[in-house]
Amino acid sequence: MNVALLLARSGKVFAERPAVYLGEELICTYAELAHRAACVGAYLREHVGLQRGDRVAIFMSNIPEYLEVLYGAWFGGLCVVPINAKLHPKEAEYIIRNSGASVIFSSGDLVDGIVPLLTELPNTCVVLTPGTVAFAAIHRHAPLAEVAPAAHDDLAWLFYTSGTTGRPKGVMLTHGNLQAMISCMFTDVDQPSAEDSVVYAAPISHGAGMLNFPHVIVGASHIVPISGGFDPAELMSLSMTRRHLSMFAAPTMVKRLVDYIENSHADPSGFKTILYGGGPMYLEDIRQALRVMGNRFVQIYGQGESPMTITALGRYHFTNVSHANYEQRLASVGVAQNLVEVRVTDNDGMPLTNGMTGEVVVRGPTVMKGYWNNAEATASAIRDGWLYTGDMGSYDADGFLTLKDRSKDMIISGGSNIYPREVEEVLLMHPGVHEVSVVGRKHAEWGEEVIAFVVTRDGLALNAAELDTLCLKNIARFKRPKDYRFVQELPKSNYGKVLKTELRAWLKSELTQSTTHVIETTHQ
Ligand code: AMP
């Protein structure tokens, strides 16, 4: 089944309901959104001449036309290639080239950067920009009478991995993968209703965009913030007017929103669900979030290769405060979602017993078809039907999975494995620590030694001895950081993930230059 059928149905069932807003301004109803998508689909198939399965790149900021373009391509039986708007045009060019897309939708703010790079593409390409006369003309094209066919196994979304190591790879997600993911969203994440609004405060090209599906199904509203992204004041104001506001947020965004609400004594009651994931949420941070905003959180753990759908920590577990393992559960990523099997395995792929740490592997209908044009990477990621996530974790007796770190982030010091997350959780217990990231640095005797990068709260001065005492009270001596770096901020990816690769590179360059001040040091 083509996922465009979801919007085709809602276009009829919820015809007059508001579908897309830009801030407070209504842009279109469900009938209009479905009509526009059918026009885009017709234009791509009949005017441009694309064929079933052809790729359509979307290099756009979060703008109101995003949904129309996504669904337009699906109406035409085509495969979308959403590209993070924050990428450099050259990185976007690589993705366009690699995916073989010959049509590119690019928003007005990005189009001038990308067009000059497209001249040498092997196939002629069409660039369309919402807001232009040419784009408006698409709406006058006779709409497709029906959604074009797409099989369960046809590609719907080529999702390019963030590529912190090497070039990004195109994760092939089929219509079937997306439907299984949607089903899990209803069973494991949240039950949206027509009164709800989903706000896209994170890139639609990533997890936030996936949240569109359940909201389309129930006829809820979709809000593109005027800022185009994450602005706590704007989100707060939208929550007050919309009331049932839901959003996807990386843990770093949750933290900023919670700090904003706490400092401004704002009323969080307009938020319905904050779905967080994509990176570690530390125990101290989720505790603070619950204290300030109440029980409005759901966590997912997923990756592009099994989008949004490995485990979830549902609303029930956040309320179950009297459970003996409540705190451990808060620090976990929850339990396997309904349609997937999740195991923790040893190096030979054999399941490990509860409490033991190994690689997390996943099997089920949400797991990608493979990497686009990359059989070798596919063969190493999917073995015997299991997706190897590269994440390390352990199960407890009740099926709660706690992630340690990605295997490449694990520190081996004096032959012992140290999971940075464990050390980070301890350092965050200090009220003066705002953010922290722990990495390994090469050491002649120990192999690696533990180094902590610390951002202090409100720029307050902290000394390393205090943090060392805290570690001595809570973790084994060998896990303590041997050195602290107080920095103003941590390097983060476009999705808000801390870039440990950069921290390690800084440490490495310090070693080679034998200077200790490559990173701006603000406090000692
Ligand atoms: P991406 O494919 O860019 O979405 O990145 C997926 C990776 O982000 C996963 O393999 C994990 O390492 C990490 N991740 C995703 N969700 C969580 C979570 N809830 N807690 C900790 N790490 C997460």
pLDDT (tens digit per residue) in 265-305: 999 999 999 999 998 899 999 999 999 999 999 999 999 99
State the pLDDT at residue 167.
82
**Beta strands 103-106 and 271-276: pairing type?**
unpaired
Whether 514 shows a pLDDT value over 60: the answer reads no
State the pLDDT at residue 520.
38
State the pLDDT at residue 494.
77
CA of 118 to the centre of ligand 1 (A): 32
Using the structure block, give the residue that is written with the tokens 């485990």.
311
Please, which pLDDT band fits residue 165 given cuts at 50, 70 and 90? low
State the pLDDT at residue 125.
84
Q: Which of 283, 359, 391 to mutate to test the pocket of ligand 1 (most atoms within 8 A of CB)?
A: 391
Whether 213 shows a pLDDT value over 50: the answer reads yes
Ligand 1 pocket, residue 162 CB under 6 Å: yes
The answer to whether the 4-395 and 410-518 domains have the same CATH topology is: no
Task: State in Å, rounded, how far the first CA of the chain is from the last one.
Answer: 59
State the pLDDT at residue 369.
98
Mean pLDDT of 146-158: 97
Task: Take atom 22 of ligand 1 and give the residue whose Cα is closest.
Answer: 279
CA angle, residues 323, 327, 328, in degrees to nearest 5: 100
How far apart CA 379 and CA 401 sit, in angstroms, is 25
Please, which pLDDT band fits residue 163 given cuts at 50, 70 and 90? low
Q: Which residues pair with 299 in a beta bridge?
A: 276, 313
CA of 389 to the centre of ligand 1 (A): 9
State the pLDDT at residue 524.
27
Closest alpha carbon to 135 in 81, 69, 200: 69
Whether 518 shows a pLDDT value over 80: the answer reads no
Q: Where are the domains of the chain?
A: 4-395, 410-518
What are the start-end ranges of the H helices in 305-419?
315-319, 326-330, 375-381
CATH number for the segment(s) 4-395: 3.40.50.12780
CATH code matching the domain that covers 410-518, chosen among 3.30.300.30, 3.40.50.720, 3.40.50.2000, 3.30.1490.70: 3.30.300.30
State the pLDDT at residue 123.
67
Coil vs helix vs strand at 205? coil
CA of 307 to the centre of ligand 1 (A): 10
Whole-number average pLDDT of the chain = 93
Eight-class DSSP state of 186:
I
CA of 278 to the centre of ligand 1 (A): 4
Q: Which of 159, 403, 404, 498 to mutate to test the pocket of ligand 1 (most atoms within 8 A of CB)?
A: 403
What Rg value do the Cα atoms of the chain yield, rounded?
Answer: 23
Please, which pLDDT band fits residue 44 given cuts at 50, 70 and 90? very high
Query: Which residue did the predictor score with more confidence, 422 or 68?
Result: 68
Coil vs helix vs strand at 415? coil
Ligand 1 pocket, residue 93 CB under 6 Å: no
State the pLDDT at residue 519.
36
Q: Which atom of ligand 1 is nearest to the CA of 305?
A: 2
Please, which pLDDT band fits residue 417 given cuts at 50, 70 and 90? confident
Q: Which residues pair with 298 in a beta bridge?
A: 275
Whether 98 shows a pLDDT value over 90: the answer reads yes
Closest alpha carbon to 481 in 506, 449, 516, 519: 449
CA of 390 to the centre of ligand 1 (A): 10
Please, which pLDDT band fits residue 233 given cuts at 50, 70 and 90? very high
Ligand 1 pocket, residue 280 CB under 6 Å: yes
Ligand 1 pocket, residue 161 CB under 6 Å: yes
Whether 337 shows a pLDDT value over 70: the answer reads yes
State the pLDDT at residue 101.
95
State the pLDDT at residue 174.
98
pLDDT (tens digit per residue) in 350-408: 999 999 999 999 999 999 999 999 999 999 999 999 999 999 999 999 999 999 878 78
State the pLDDT at residue 407.
76
CA of 416 to the centre of ligand 1 (A): 25
State the pLDDT at residue 119.
80
Mean pLDDT of 111-134: 87
Please, which pLDDT band fits residue 83 given cuts at 50, 70 and 90? very high
How far apart CA 8 and CA 354 sit, in angstroms, is 46
Contact (Cβ atoms closer than 8 angstroms) between residue 461 and residue 492: no
CA of 497 to the centre of ligand 1 (A): 9
Ligand 1 pocket, residue 277 CB under 6 Å: yes
Whether 465 shows a pLDDT value over 90: the answer reads yes
Coil vs helix vs strand at 324? coil
pTM for the complete prediction?
Answer: 0.88
How far apart CA 54 and CA 73 sit, in angstroms, is 9
Please, which pLDDT band fits residue 516 given cuts at 50, 70 and 90? very low
Q: Which atom of ligand 1 is nearest to the CA of 159?
A: 2
Report residue 263 as tokens.
Answer: 């400092």
How far apart CA 140 and CA 7 sit, in angstroms, is 19
State the pLDDT at residue 445.
81
Please, which pLDDT band fits residue 164 given cuts at 50, 70 and 90? low
Whether 66 shows a pLDDT value over 90: the answer reads yes
